[in-house]
Amino acid sequence: MFEVLMPAALSNPLVAQEVGAKLTLHKLWETPDADAALKELAPRIRGILAGAPGHRRVGGEFLGQFPNLEIVSSFGVGYDHIDAKWAAAHGVVVTNTPDVLNEEVADTAMGLLLSTLRQLPQAERYLRAGKWQQANFPLSDSLQGRTMGILGLGRIGKAIARRAEAFGVKIAYHGRSRQPDVPYPYYATVLEMAAAVDILMVIAPGGPSTKHLVDAAVLRALGPRGVLINVARGSLVDEDALVAALQKGEIMSAGLDVFAHEPQVPQALLDMDHVVLLPHVGSASHRTRDAMAHLVAENMLSYAAGKGPLTPVAETPWPRLEKAD
Task: State the pLDDT confidence band at 66, using cuts at 50, 70 and 90.
Answer: very high
- Helix 120-128 and helix 102-118, axial crossing angle in degrees, nearest 10: 60
Is 60 exceeded by the pLDDT of residue 322?
A: no
Q: How far apart are the first and last CA of the chain?
A: 25
Smallest Cα–Cα separation from 84: which of 324, 325, 317, 322?
317
The C-alpha atoms of residue 291 and residue 178 are separated, in whole angstroms, by 31
The confidence score (pLDDT) of residue 266 equals 98
Residue 25: in which H helix or E strand, if any?
strand 24-27
Chain-centre distance for alpha carbon 76: 7
Task: State the pLDDT confidence band at 55, using cuts at 50, 70 and 90.
Answer: low
Task: State the pLDDT confidence band at 80, using cuts at 50, 70 and 90.
Answer: confident
Is 70 exceeded by the pLDDT of residue 56?
A: no
The C-alpha atoms of residue 237 and residue 247 are separated, in whole angstroms, by 16
248-258 residue pLDDT tens: 999 999 999 99
Is 50 exceeded by the pLDDT of residue 226?
A: yes
Is 50 exceeded by the pLDDT of residue 265?
A: yes
Is 80 exceeded by the pLDDT of residue 143?
A: yes
Supply φ then ψ for residue 214, to 5 degrees: -95, 100
Q: Which domains, ranges and CATH numbers included, belong to the chain?
A: 3-100+287-304 (3.40.50.720), 102-277 (3.40.50.720)
**Mean of per-residue pLDDT scores for the chain:** 95
Task: Please give the model's pTM, rounded to 2 decimal places.
Answer: 0.90
- Residues that are catalytic: 233, 262, 280
The pLDDT > 90 percentage for the chain reads 91
Mean pLDDT of 119-130: 98
Task: State the pLDDT confidence band at 274, using cuts at 50, 70 and 90.
Answer: very high
The confidence score (pLDDT) of residue 57 equals 80
Task: State the pLDDT confidence band at 318, using cuts at 50, 70 and 90.
Answer: confident
The confidence score (pLDDT) of residue 174 equals 98
112, 276 Cβ separation under 8 angstroms: yes
Q: Is 113 left (phi over 0), alpha (psi -120 to 50) or beta?
A: alpha
Q: Does residue 170 sit in helix, strand or coil?
A: strand
The C-alpha atoms of residue 135 and residue 131 are separated, in whole angstroms, by 6
Using the Cα atoms of residue 73, residue 75, residue 81 and residue 84 in order, give the sign of their dihedral.
positive
The confidence score (pLDDT) of residue 325 equals 45
